[in-house]
Amino acid sequence: MAEEKKNATIYDVAAAVGVSLATVSRVVNGSENVRPATRDKVRAAIEELGYRPNAVARGLASKKTTTVGVVMPDMTNLFYSELTRGIDDVANMYQYDVLLTNTDDDPKRAVTAIRNLADKQIDGLIYMGSQLSKQVQEAMKMADVPVVLAGSVDQKGILPSVNIDYQAAFEEVTNRFLSEGQERIALVVGSADRPIDVDYRRAGYALALEKVGRDVDESLTFSGPRSYEDGQALAAQIHASGARAAIIYDDEVALGVLNGLQDAGVKVPDDFEIVSANNTTFTMVARPELSSIDQPKYDIGAVAMRLLTKLMDQDSLNQKQVILPHTMVNRASTKSAKRN
């Protein structure tokens, strides 16, 4: 009954009812200033004609696209895809659509992506890259839209962000190993130069050691591995370093190390303990299951998106740098789990 061939425009609806465009626009946008009778007639016509507002035209006229850009390193990494799931769900809740771009954590690609998203007139941006280069910040400035970082830190504290306290988490894990008498604890991070790795993860590790009067032994710190295979390859090196425990920033890498070690005959957790940091499904499928820092991944994304909606509505934020709580999940890759 309500089948039309060519897409009806607001003009068609107006003509059908015998009112002006403005009136139709008002009922579509839920304005109060429309007589109920008129409103009903307009609604009927909209239904009848199968009218749906053209979001592009609306975007041009209103300068709001109800679209947010999301720039992420890699959607095939469970950590990021779970963050993004949180973002997406909240975005839908607030009627925003998500324009997604993978950058492989390459700052150059991030810059291109942000510029491109800006051209599309996104209303806001969520950025998950592990670094915030000058060029990326510049691109954000040019984009001239609210930005929220998710799982990504701005050391200057200028951009709003949602994270856990990485330093505290890494310090806790290190402490725990220390209190169990571990003498040689390895640290595996993603890079040797990015703030999140150097100033937070490694800093937490170093702080714990420092508090018991020890220095970081460079031969026990590793950086660079990104995949399961990288982790497997790293296992031999870690073992050769004389480490008897390791705290590893990524679950897939941790699982690679775990399996690499075990395939080489090392007993986990008896001869070697491992703690991972993202608590994705990978930690549970491992044998032994991996102990891990738990980050509320979905929530980090969800909260970041929620902050962004506020910013897009010109609301003020109670808190710019949101730190969500993390916990420790004790499983079988650490000895203490057995004690319990």
Q: Which of 12, 15, 28, 74 binds its own copies (CB under 8 A)?
A: 74
19's contact among DNA, its own copies, none, with CB below 5 to 8 A by partner kind, is DNA
Residue at 180: amino acid letter: E
Collapsed DSSP state (helix, strand, coil) of residue 294: strand
CB of 45 to DNA, least distance (A): 12
Owner of token pair 């296992």? 235
* Site for its own copies contains 90 (CB under 8 A): no
Strand partners, 334: none
Whole-Å CA distances, 131 to 143, 197, 279:
18, 10, 22
The helix (run of H) or strand (run of E) holding residue 71 is strand 67-72
* Site for DNA contains 142 (CB under 7 A): no
Q: Cα–chain-centroid distance for residue 142?
A: 22
Smaller CB separation from its own copies, 47 or 315: 47
Rounded Cα gap, residues 223 and 316, in angstroms? 38
Residues 217-246 that bind its own copies (CB under 8 A): 228
Q: Which of 5, 35, 134, 156 binds DNA (CB under 7 A)?
A: 35
Where does this chain touch its own copies (CB under 8 A) — which range of 11-19, 208-216, 254-262, 317-325?
254-262
CB of 168 to its own copies, least distance (A): 26
Smaller CB separation from DNA, 26 or 331: 26
Taking the CA atoms of residue 302, residue 223, residue 280 and residue 330 in that order, the dihedral angle to the nearest 10 degrees is: -110
Strand partners, 124: 68
* Site for DNA contains 120 (CB under 7 A): no
Smaller CB separation from DNA, 35 or 134: 35
* Site for its own copies contains 120 (CB under 8 A): yes
Structural contact between residues 216 and 189, judged by C-beta atoms closer than 8 angstroms: no
The site for DNA (CB under 7 A) is made up of: 7, 9-11, 18-23, 25-26, 28-29, 32-35, 37-39, 51-54, 57-58, 60-63
